[in-house]
Amino acid sequence: MSTAAAPARRARGRVWGPRVVLLGPGTAWWLVFFLVPVGVLIAYSFFSRGPYGGVIYEPTLKNYVRAFDPLYIGVLWTSVRIATIATATSLLLAYPAALFIARASSRWRVPLLVLVILPFWTSFLIRTYAWMLLLNPAGLINKVLMGIGVIDEPLPLLYNEFAVTLGLVYAYLPLMVLPIYASLERLGPQASEAAADLYATPVQTLRKVTIPLTLPGIVAGCIFVFVPSLGNFIVPDLLGGGQTVMIGNVIQQQFLTARDWPFGAVLAMSVIVLMFLVLAVQAQVLRRTQEVEHGRPA
């Protein structure tokens, strides 16, 4: 550092202590549990499987070539499709719910939010098994529908893509509600009041004021739902009856059943690349929202 800027340096220097304390643990965590594993993954992806599993350290690109097999592209496409449908469905369900909570009287907001996160108090696996009990041909939903005469024979609710999508929506819905609620809360009622004063109808207010200004929350929620949906392998396994394969299942299969870590690493990389694309879209949306908020010269 330049000695000429001594006073300024001292001022900055004083901040270093708290900075290390505040950022240190997070950075260390990130380095050890994110950057190092991803580094290992990238390294493995260029090696090959040994005859009995394990990794042989001879550089090769064959895993990458294999990943472009239509089989795996197809699985990746299915995963993106299911994750997208799950995200869109969550958004449609979560936005009105978040709006309702944000507009509720302050006395009710906390209890309502607790209800949103209540499912997290039980193991994800148990909740997924519970859906199997609800959806199976002899399960509660089919029994009730048949009992009241709506249907004559059980609907195929379980072991298909519908069940997988439902399971994902159910699992990650709270992760959509919370960020949208947070941005609605931050927005406050003033903007919609102003819109109403300017004779906007409630629908116009929602469409032209509330939704655009809560876009950061919407995008954050979409990422919170899309990312874990894309990599999920428990829901397709249990609710899909092993008949709907998502990329998470293939990665799990490569690492465990096939003991082919290098190829599993390549498939895992493909998911990471997809995530980066999604995050790039998010950054783009956020930048545009900020421009709107700070008022671009018209």
Partner 1 sequence: MSVAVIVLAACGSDDGGETPPAASDGGTTEPVDISGTTLTISNWDAYMPKSVVKDFEAETGVTVEYAIHTTNEDIMGKLTAANGTGFDLVFVSGPFVQALNGLGYAAEIDQSQIPNITNLDTEATELAYDPGNTHSVPYTWGTTGICYRTDLVPQTPSTWEAFHTPEPDTEGKMTMLGTDRWLLQPALLSLGYSVNTTDPGEIDEAKAWTMEAKENLLAFDDTTFYAKLVSGEASLVQAWDGWCEYGRADEPKIDFVIPDEGSDLWTDTMVVMESSENKAAAYAFIDYILRPEVGKSIVEYTLYKMPNAEVMAAVSPKVIQDFPTLAITPTELFEQEAQTDLGEEGTILWTEAATEIKA
Interface with partner 1 (CB under 8 A): 49-54, 71-72, 74-75, 78, 132, 136-138, 158-159, 241-245, 249-250, 253-261
Q: Are 269 and 45 in contact (CB under 8 A)?
A: yes
Minimum distance of partner 1 from residue 228's CB (angstroms):
21
214 vs 252, beta carbon nearer partner 1:
252
Q: How far is CA 113 from CA 42, 107, 170, 182, in A?
A: 40, 11, 16, 11
Minimum distance of partner 1 from residue 138's CB (angstroms):
6
136 vs 282, beta carbon nearer partner 1:
136
161 vs 185, beta carbon nearer partner 1:
161
User: Look-up: residue for tokens 């956020």?
Assistant: 286
Rounded to whole angstroms, the Cα distance separating 208 from 232 reads: 35
88 vs 234, beta carbon nearer partner 1:
234
Q: Are 237 and 160 in contact (CB under 8 A)?
A: no
User: How many C-beta atoms surround the C-beta of residue 22 within 10 A?
Assistant: 10
User: How many C-beta atoms surround the C-beta of residue 172 within 10 A?
Assistant: 24
Handedness of CA 224, 225, 229, 230 (dihedral sign): negative
Minimum distance of partner 1 from residue 236's CB (angstroms):
9
DSSP string, 101-160: HHHS-HHHHHHHHHHHHGGGGS-HHHHHHHHHHHHSTTSHHHHHHHHTTS-SS----SSS
CA atoms within 13 A of residue 154's CA, in its CB half-sphere = 13
Minimum distance of partner 1 from residue 70's CB (angstroms):
10
Q: Are 44 and 54 in contact (CB under 8 A)?
A: no
Minimum distance of partner 1 from residue 53's CB (angstroms):
6
User: Look-up: residue for tokens 């979560």?
Assistant: 94
Minimum distance of partner 1 from residue 157's CB (angstroms):
12
176 vs 246, beta carbon nearer partner 1:
246
Minimum distance of partner 1 from residue 33's CB (angstroms):
15
91 vs 258, beta carbon nearer partner 1:
258
5 vs 56, beta carbon nearer partner 1:
56
